[in-house]
Amino acid sequence: MMLMAVGILGAVGAGGATILYFIGQKFKVYEDPRIEPVQDALPGVNCGACGFPGCNSFAIACVEAEELEGLNCPVGGAETMAKVA
C-alpha cells in the first residue's frame, strides 16, 4: 500500500516537472548576451543614482546606446565607466 502511494506521488511529481519544463521553454526570454558583461562591471548596488531603476536597466541602456555620453554610474565612478566602455 505504501509502495503504491510512493509510486503515484513520484509519477505526479515527474509529470508536474515535465509540464513545468515545457512551459518554461515556451515562455523563455532571450536576452542580449552583451548585457551580462556590462552588468558584471557595475557595482551592483541598484541604488538608482544613475537615473535608472537598477544596474540591470543601466546595463541595458549602455548596450543599446550608440555612445555612452550622458550615461554615468556615480557609485562606480570613472573606473567603472572605463570598464563598461
Do 6 and 24 fall within a single domain? yes
Q: Is the pLDDT of residue 7 over 90?
A: yes
The whole domain housing 78 covers 35-84
Do 17 and 45 fall within a single domain? no
DSSP code string of 33-46 = TTHHHHHHHS----
CATH code at 48?
A: 1.10.15
Mean pLDDT, residues 5-18: 97
- How many domains is the chain built from? 2
Do 63 and 80 fall within a single domain? yes
Do 22 and 45 fall within a single domain? no
pLDDT tens digit string along 30-63? Answer: 888 999 998 988 888 888 888 899 889 999 999 9
Do 19 and 49 fall within a single domain? no
Q: Is the pLDDT of residue 23 over 90?
A: yes
Give the pLDDT score at 17. Answer: 98
